[in-house]
Amino acid sequence: MAAPSLPGSGLLKGLGLTFKTMLSPATTAQYPHVKPELPPRTRGVIALMEENCTVCMLCAKECPDWCIYIDSSKETVPVEGGRTRTRNVLDRFAIDFALCMYCGICVEVCPFDALFWSPEFEYAEYDIRELTHEKERLREWMDTVPPPPPLEEGAVPPAEIEAGIAAARKEAEEAAAKAKAAAEGGGEPEAEAPQIDEELFARLVAEGTPERAARAKAKAAFVKAQKRREREQGGDQ
């Protein structure tokens, strides 16, 4: 038989717990003023690298929720010295995030690295129909995709990364040689160097970014920097 408890002991225990909690620091994050620190593999929103998409339809076929909508058309491409060819052109790529269950199957099955996970999660809407993101909106999320994790110490880089770095280095050397020859006035003027941020391109390829995706990001960075320089020059005048 349990001994009877003293009158008011439950109240004293409750007050003790209250005072203990009052003296401990608060752990509540003041969102949205304080952003949460998300894990590196957070599944927030799916971003689209439109340049890499070949309209193979694998992502739409494997999606268990059927929330990916793709439309394409045929385009005739002339080939010098040969027959004309046709290729698929991506007209629409949309994802309905009101149906998406964030399983990541579409990202996994994409054979051309056109879909990526972004940790961004702030895309709530007042109208459920606005949760269907078209390809233009999905392309904007590419700027928030984190770089791939670094290789482990002593790991051998993949062959495609080594090939990409060598190709980027060779392209940069050829561009520098052409610019030097044009500056010295020797021979005929050469074609302009590719309008991309060479340093960013080489770094992205070294980090494991596919070459086409790295080239697209490097080109966007080059155009952004050029526009910034033009604005600064206009402000000085």
Q: Count the alpha carbons within 13 Å of 135 in the hemisphere toward its beta carbon.
A: 16
Last residue of a domain, one of 84, 114, 144: 144
pLDDT single digits (tens) 179-212: 888 777 655 544 455 578 888 887 777 777 777 7
Residue 141: count of CB within 10 angstroms of its CB: 20
Helix ranges (DSSP H) in the chain: 9-23, 58-62, 105-109, 135-140, 159-184, 198-206, 211-236
Residue numbers of the domain that contains 127: 45-144
Please give the tally of structural domains in the chain. 2
Report yes or no on whether pTM surpasses 0.85: no
pLDDT single digits (tens) 62-87: 999 999 999 999 988 887 777 888 88
Residue 178 lies in a domain: yes
Instruction: Chunk the chain into consecutive blocks of 10 residues (it has 237) and report each block's average pLDDT, rounded to whole numbers.
Output: 67 85 79 84 91 93 95 86 84 95 94 92 91 94 86 78 79 84 63 68 76 76 78 65
Last residue of a domain, one of 121, 144, 167: 144
Same-domain status, 57 and 130: yes
Residue 126 lies in a domain: yes
Same-domain status, 116 and 174: no
